[in-house]
A and B are shown apart, each in its own frame.
Chain A
Amino acid sequence: MTETAGDRAPASRAPAALPRLGALRDRAMAALGAPTDTAALVAFRVVLGALVTISAARFLAYGWVDALFVEPTFFFKYWGLSWVGVLPAPGMHVVFVALAALGVCFATGLYYRVVAPLLFALFTYVQLVDVTNWLNHYYLVSLLLLLAAFMPLGRAGSIDAWRRPESRLDAFPAWCTYLLRFQVGVVYFNAGLAKLSADWLLHAQPLNIWLSARTGVPVLGAFFDERWVAYAFSWGGFLFDTTIAFFLLRRRTRLPAYLVVIAFHAVVGLLFPIGMFPFIMVGAALVFFSPSWPRRLLGALRLRALAEDAGVRAAPRARPRRVWSALALAYCALQVLVPLRAHLYGGNVLWHEQGMRMSWKVMVREKNGSITYLVRSKKTGRTWYVEPRRYLTDRQARELQSQPDLVLQLAHHVARDFADRGEGEVEVRAEAIVSLNGRPSAPMIDDRVDLARVSDGLGKASWILPAPEGPPIHLRPAWNSHKLAGR
Chain B
Amino acid sequence: MKRYIGAFVAAAVLCGTSCRSRSGDPGAGSSSGSVDAGSFDKPALLRAFGECVVADYRELSTSVVALDAATSAAASDKSAASLEAARAAWKTAMEIAQRAEVYQFGPAAISTAPGGRDMRDPIYAWPLVGRCALEQTIVSKAYETPGWATSALVSTRSLAAAEYLLFFTGAENECPAESEINTNGSWAALGAEELAARRLAYARVVTADVVQRTQALVDAWDPAKGNFIEELATAGRSKSFASEQMAFNAVTDAMFYVDLQLKNSKVGKPAGFLPDCAAAPCLSAVESPWAKRSKEHIRQNLAGYEKLFRGCGPGGSGLGFDDLLGAVGAESVTAKVEASLVEIRAALDALVEPTFEEDLQKNIAGVQRLFDALRANAALMKAEFVTVLDLELPKRVEGDND
- Chain A residues with a Cβ under 8 A of chain B: 55, 62, 64, 67-68, 135-138, 209-210, 212-217, 225-229, 231-232, 235-236, 239, 247, 253, 256, 272-277, 362-363, 366-370, 372, 375, 382-387, 390, 393-395, 397-398, 401, 418, 421, 431, 433-435, 437-438, 440-441, 473-481, 483-484
Partner of B16, one of A212, A226, A366, A435: A226
Contacts of A215 in B (CB 8 A): 42, 244
Jot down 24 A-B pairs with beta carbons below 8 A, ordered by A.
Answer: A210-B390, A212-B390, A216-B236, A216-B244, A217-B243, A229-B16, A239-B4, A256-B1, A273-B400, A275-B399, A277-B401, A363-B402, A370-B378, A370-B382, A382-B280, A395-B397, A438-B384, A441-B380, A473-B388, A476-B328, A476-B329, A479-B40, A481-B42, A481-B244
Contacts of A275 in B (CB 8 A): 399-401
Given A394-B394, A395-B397, A478-B37, A136:B15 Cβ within 8 A: no
Contacts of A274 in B (CB 8 A): 400-402
Inter-chain contact B268/A385, CB cutoff 8 Å: yes
Q: Say how far B7's CB is from chain A's closest CB, in angstroms.
A: 10
Inter-chain contact A384/B274, CB cutoff 8 Å: yes
Partner of A135, one of B273, B378, B400: B400
Inter-chain contact B397/A64, CB cutoff 8 Å: yes
Partner of B42, one of A135, A273, A372, A478: A478
Inter-chain contact A475/B400, CB cutoff 8 Å: no
Bound complex: CA A476 to CA B4 (Å) = 29
Partner of A366, one of B244, B387, B395: B387
Partner of B328, one of A375, A431, A478: A478
Bound complex: CA A367 to CA B384 (Å) = 9
Contacts of B41 in A (CB 8 A): 479-481, 483-484
Inter-chain contact A277/B402, CB cutoff 8 Å: yes
| Docked complex: B75-121 residues within 8 A CB-CB of A | none
Bound complex: CA A363 to CA B400 (Å) = 13
Partner of B37, one of A217, A435, A477: A477
Contacts of B380 in A (CB 8 A): 433, 441
Inter-chain contact B12/A232, CB cutoff 8 Å: yes
Residue of A228, A362, A393 with most chain B CB atoms under a 10 A cut-off: A228
Contacts of A393 in B (CB 8 A): 397
Nearest-CB residue, chain B, relative to A253: B1
Contacts of B37 in A (CB 8 A): 476-479
Contacts of A363 in B (CB 8 A): 402
Inter-chain contact B401/A475, CB cutoff 8 Å: no
Inter-chain contact B387/A438, CB cutoff 8 Å: yes
Contacts of A213 in B (CB 8 A): 245, 389-391
- Chain B residues with a Cβ under 8 A of chain A: 1, 4, 8, 11-12, 15-16, 18-20, 23, 28-29, 32, 37-43, 235-236, 243-245, 264, 268, 273-275, 280, 324, 327-330, 332, 371, 375, 378-380, 382-384, 386-391, 393-402
Inter-chain contact A386/B275, CB cutoff 8 Å: yes
Contacts of A68 in B (CB 8 A): 397, 399
Contacts of A370 in B (CB 8 A): 378-379, 382-383
Q: Say how far A90's CB is from chain B's closest CB, in angstroms.
A: 19
Nearest-CB residue, chain B, relative to A136: B402
Inter-chain contact B274/A385, CB cutoff 8 Å: yes
Nearest-CB residue, chain B, relative to A397: B393
Residue of B40, B275, B389 with most chain A CB atoms under a 10 A cut-off: B275
Inter-chain contact A477/B23, CB cutoff 8 Å: yes
Contacts of A247 in B (CB 8 A): 1
Bound complex: CA A360 to CA B100 (Å) = 45
Contacts of A401 in B (CB 8 A): 382
Contacts of B4 in A (CB 8 A): 239
Q: Say how far A325's CB is from chain B's closest CB, in angstroms.
A: 33
Known interface pairs A367-B387, A479-B40; 13 further A-B residue pairs with C-beta atoms within 8 A, sorted by A's residue number: A68-B399, A214-B390, A216-B235, A277-B400, A369-B382, A375-B275, A384-B274, A394-B397, A434-B383, A440-B384, A441-B383, A473-B330, A483-B41
Bound complex: CA A272 to CA B243 (Å) = 12
Bound complex: CA A84 to CA B178 (Å) = 47
Bound complex: CA A401 to CA B386 (Å) = 13
Inter-chain contact B398/A394, CB cutoff 8 Å: no
Inter-chain contact A395/B396, CB cutoff 8 Å: yes
Bound complex: CA A368 to CA B236 (Å) = 25
Nearest-CB residue, chain B, relative to A360: B402
Contacts of B402 in A (CB 8 A): 135-137, 274, 277, 362-363
Inter-chain contact A475/B388, CB cutoff 8 Å: yes
Q: Say how far A320's CB is from chain B's closest CB, in angstroms.
A: 33
Bound complex: CA A401 to CA B396 (Å) = 13
Nearest-CB residue, chain B, relative to A363: B402
Inter-chain contact B396/A398, CB cutoff 8 Å: yes
Q: Say how far B255's CB is from chain A's closest CB, in angstroms.
A: 14
Contacts of A239 in B (CB 8 A): 4, 8
Contacts of B375 in A (CB 8 A): 372, 385
Bound complex: CA A13 to CA B12 (Å) = 54
Q: Say how far B8's CB is from chain A's closest CB, in angstroms.
A: 7
Bound complex: CA A393 to CA B395 (Å) = 10
Inter-chain contact B400/A479, CB cutoff 8 Å: no
Contacts of B399 in A (CB 8 A): 62, 64, 67-68, 275, 395
Nearest-CB residue, chain A, relative to B23: A477
Given A136-B402, A275-B400, A368-B387, A216:B29 Cβ within 8 A: no
Q: Say how far B368's CB is from chain A's closest CB, in angstroms.
A: 10
Inter-chain contact A394/B395, CB cutoff 8 Å: yes
Residue of B268, B274, B387 with most chain A CB atoms under a 10 A cut-off: B387
Nearest-CB residue, chain B, relative to A233: B12
Bound complex: CA A82 to CA B65 (Å) = 59
